[in-house]
Structure 1
Amino acid sequence: MARHMIIGMHFGSGYGSQPGAWRMPGVDPRNYTNFDSQVRYAQAAERGKFQFLFVPDFPALKGDIATEAPMISVDPMLTLAAVARETTRIGLVATGSATFNEPYNLARQFKALDLMSHGRAGWNAVPTSDPAIAANYGRAIPPRAEKYARLHESIQLVQALWGSWEDGAWMHDQVSGRFADPHKIRPINLQGQHVGSSGPLPLPPSEQGQPVIFQAGGGDQGLIVAGHYASGVIGAVYTIEDARAQRMALRNAAEQAGRDPDEIKFFPGLMTTIAPDRRAALDRRIALNEHTFPERVAYLQHILGLRLDASQLDQPLSRNQLATARPSPQDPRSAHALRIAKEGWSLRDVLAHGIIDYHPVIVGPAVEAADHMQEWFEAGAADGFWVSPDVYEDGIDAFVDGVVPILQERGLFHRDYSGTTLRDHLGAPAQYGLDLRIRQ
């Protein structure tokens, strides 16, 4: 069977990945709290046969709230609960920090979502690093080693709680009057250095047994967590070389933990502005982001080692500037930024290419996105992608109607769902309770 890529979609505040998305024509400016719109966008992704939605989280108010909408959903679990009732196949992955949440609460919420969605839930298990979030819980950020020790313990506790009802424990037999078999429902009685729980959880297995573990970022410690537990990893890499290296490191980490490396899938990010041609796409990005360009000029001059003038946005970089530019070896975006500048675009257009964004950006026709995805996939740099459309209102449909058919024609993406659960979509093995291969 041909290997197919897996596609997820970044699912944020209801507008899109770009700061100006909330002001675009046709966008309801109240979408931040409009769950009907969230459901509609999820259904558009499901129409494109995306395998999952990925909801990040940042439980603190961040950004320039005077002019920009928050980039994070009102609440990941409540958002996906609404989506679960109006979709049938697409996976639902939410971020939940183990630093300021107790394992019992995480286990209960994610398994409830898994039951509600008939086996489509995933937990992006992460620690918290931002002091603004810690302040909302009246606490300080713990030392890094402590955060990751707690994360390991929390994942093990959550998985043990998920498995506290054996398969067949819930009988719901009206004739005999037996609702459940108490002999198949057991406490877990686990206590670690940081967290503990007696259990059991008052929830039976879902159609996929229990939710799937995802992981996002985290350096060497995050790599160990992903290798032990994750079936999907949300990546933030800018070059194909870095993506290939990270994917291989993840596969090696899984193997060292006693797992089959094929069980862990790596998804780099991809930001998209799909339009009939490059000029139309650039004009759209300018309309979305021009208010951010002065700040981005300042950063661009830093990574290129140049002095740039924000009043000269309509001028290309001079021949002398291009000759003296020195891309920063510490920023993988700098070499790409210089390549775009050397094509002769104005400074405004250079910025509109998304050269300061934290993921590769496609600004142009659908075939360019398909080409990028094919190159990375076939080079072993990705098992798939998590896609961030610029504006949900029409950007999801542009990807679904433009990019997806090209990938399908090339034999790189499935034409329909072959299963019903998130485990099916990822090719993740069955698991119920703790993974007995992993040394706890």
Structure 2
Amino acid sequence: MTVMSKSSFLLGAVLGEMHGNHPGAWRMASADPNAYTDVTTFVRAAQTAERGGLDYLFFPDRVFIWGDLESRPPIVTMEPTLTLAAIAPATRRIGLVTTLSTSFVEPYTIARQVRALDVMSHGRAGWQAIPSYEPEAFANYGLPVPPREEKYERFNEAIQITQALWGSWSRAAGSPDKATGRFADTSHIRPVNLTGRHVGSRGPLQIPPSEQGQPVIFMPFASGLGVQAASLYANGIIAHPSSMEEAKAQRAMMRSMTVDAGREADEVKFLSFFALTVGTTLQEAVERRMVLEEAAGIEERLAHLSAVLGMRLDSADRDKPLTSAQVAALRPHPGAAQAGHALQLARQGRTPHEILGHGVLDQAPSLVGTAEQIADMLQEWVQAGAADGFSVIIDDLHDGMDNFVNQVVPVLRQRGLRPDDYEGTTLRDHLGLPQQLGLDPRLTAEAER
């Protein structure tokens, strides 16, 4: 068994787009463009991720058409909880994190659906709790967008009631006993009778606890009221920082506020998105990405790169290095996260197509490179205090998850950054969290004082 180092970290994968995260993935020769609702694609990806010992799969959600259907499939196609219910029996250990919005779903429904997923998977479910903000989402439910304060008031109420419902069926209710004829001790299955300004529930829930007690709560990193709520309830923060320095600041803020809320800093895990393209050599990785860029529509991708570099690039010249005069005239966009990287590549004599192949249009953080280079970057972030783990984003799901598991994971294991196999059975085990059933008693005690 691998001896884990102090730089060891959590590792998950983001699934949502059936063909992969890159906008060109659906147009690759290997892709079936009509299979964007084929859940077996996700099942295969989940099994591969589990073969690599990943801690969790994370499914984001949007309750409206997200993305430009003229040029690519919806960024989120299938409903995540139902998709994970299909994945659950096909896997054994990997955590399954769904997303449900408290803006539209009642606490009883959230508690019931996610508890069902948790029981079906034998304690592997997580819930990313979010309040929605998009006008398109509210329009689909026939609702106006509420003020931010009201939205988060409902958010807090919904999380508290959901957790109370999870705790409404105690383990002390026991197991069915045919000999005595008692199915459950109902003195330990009690209503919660909670009502707020926006939501409420009598309870109890009709589903008993799973092996991990109750699902793990995740939240996105969001400033202000979002961070305040996360400090109270979340054990996992799904973050999307633009740089390592921003990640360090966000993680430090999150840990500090968690302590202020009466919890231990290590109870909340800061998990950064990380996009990647891996190859056996850097050139192979770049060429893989160049094929994806071409498939995505090279004219549109070059137009985007033109905006990043501050110069119009002609698609006819995409395989010619920029002239010295052109390089001198570049004015990188100050708001583009990877503008500096793109400028550096142009100065090295890379062609516009090659610059795209280095992933400069990715929302940072990302890396196109070898398994060792990717492992270096992940290790650097953890050692710098910028992350407790990563949610990796796969470019082309046809083979990208296999590439990650076959090439990157072995390097991480060799360095003691990842275990050789699962050391527990539940998502709480993977995250190193104690069991919890119901509201955190520390928070309820604080509220009562």
Is this a same-fold pair by TM over 0.5?
Answer: yes
Q: Distance in 2 between matches of 1:155 and 1:135?
A: 23
Assess if the C-alpha contact under 8 Å between 1:16 and 1:392 holds in 2. yes
Assess if the C-alpha contact under 8 Å between 1:268 and 1:384 holds in 2. yes
Q: Distance in 2 between matches of 1:254 and 1:294?
A: 47
Partner of 1:228: 232
Describe how 1:407-418 pairs up with structure 2 within 5 A. 407-418=412-423
- Aligned-pair identity in percent equals 49
The answer on 1:5 being equivalent to 2:9 is yes
Q: Distance in 2 between matches of 1:293 and 1:217?
A: 33
Give the 3 Å change call, closer, same or farther, for CA 325–224 of structure 1 in structure 2.
Answer: farther
Assess if the C-alpha contact under 8 Å between 2:57 and 2:97 holds in 1. yes
The answer on 1:271 being equivalent to 2:275 is yes
Partner of 1:213: 217
Assess if the C-alpha contact under 8 Å between 2:98 and 2:126 holds in 1. yes
Report which stretch shifted further, 65-74 or 135-144. Answer: 65-74
Deviation at 1:48, TM superposition (A): 0.1
Normalising by structure 1, report the TM-score.
0.95
Q: Distance in 2 between matches of 1:416 and 1:303?
A: 42
Assess if the C-alpha contact under 8 Å between 2:236 and 2:270 holds in 1. yes
> Paired residue for 1:22, among 20, 26, 30?
26
Q: Distance in 1 between matches of 2:150 and 2:325?
A: 51
Q: Distance in 2 between matches of 1:327 and 1:379?
A: 28
Give the 3 Å change call, closer, same or farther, for CA 325–428 of structure 1 in structure 2.
Answer: farther
> Paired residue for 1:130, among 130, 134, 142?
134
Partner of 2:442: 437
Deviation at 1:278, TM superposition (A): 2.7
Give the 3 Å change call, closer, same or farther, for CA 21–304 of structure 1 in structure 2.
Answer: closer
- Could you report, residue by residue, the CA deviation over 1:46-80 in whole angstroms, capped at 9, with x for unpaired residues? 00000000000012123232441222141101110
Q: Distance in 2 between matches of 1:91 and 1:116?
A: 12
Q: CA RMSD in A?
A: 1.8
Q: Which structure 2 segments of 5+ residues have no match?
A: none
Deviation at 1:261, TM superposition (A): 0.4
Report which stretch shifted further, 111-120 or 135-144. Answer: 135-144
Give the 3 Å change call, closer, same or farther, for CA 5–182 of structure 1 in structure 2.
Answer: same
Partner of 2:363: 358
- Could you report, residue by residue, the CA deviation over 1:76-129 in whole angstroms, capped at 9, with x for unpaired residues? 011100110111100000111111111111111000000000000000001112
Deviation at 1:156, TM superposition (A): 0.6
User: Which amino acid in structure 2 is aligned with residue 16 of structure 1?
Assistant: G
The answer on 1:392 being equivalent to 2:397 is yes
User: Which amino acid in structure 2 is aligned with residue 18 of structure 1?
Assistant: H
Q: Distance in 1 between matches of 2:243 and 2:345?
A: 15
Q: Distance in 1 between matches of 2:420 and 2:105?
A: 39
Describe how 1:55-74 pairs up with structure 2 within 5 A. 55-74=59-78
Report which stretch shifted further, 380-389 or 214-223. Answer: 214-223
> Paired residue for 2:340, among 335, 339, 346?
335
Assess if the C-alpha contact under 8 Å between 1:96 and 1:126 holds in 2. yes
User: Which amino acid in structure 2 is aligned with residue 235 of structure 1?
Assistant: A
User: Which amino acid in structure 1 is aligned with residue 202 of structure 2?
Assistant: S
Q: Distance in 1 between matches of 2:218 and 2:390?
A: 14
Q: Distance in 1 between matches of 2:263 and 2:20?
A: 36
Give the 3 Å change call, closer, same or farther, for CA 140–319 of structure 1 in structure 2.
Answer: farther
The answer on 1:381 being equivalent to 2:386 is yes
Assess if the C-alpha contact under 8 Å between 1:238 and 1:333 holds in 2. no
Assess if the C-alpha contact under 8 Å between 1:297 and 1:308 holds in 2. yes
Normalising by structure 2, report the TM-score.
0.93
Give the 3 Å change call, closer, same or farther, for CA 73–117 of structure 1 in structure 2.
Answer: farther
Assess if the C-alpha contact under 8 Å between 2:244 and 2:381 holds in 1. yes
Deviation at 1:307, TM superposition (A): 4.4
The answer on 1:109 being equivalent to 2:113 is yes
The answer on 1:168 being equivalent to 2:155 is no
Assess if the C-alpha contact under 8 Å between 1:11 and 1:56 holds in 2. yes
Equivalenced residues, count:
440
Deviation at 1:218, TM superposition (A): 2.1
Deviation at 1:361, TM superposition (A): 2.4
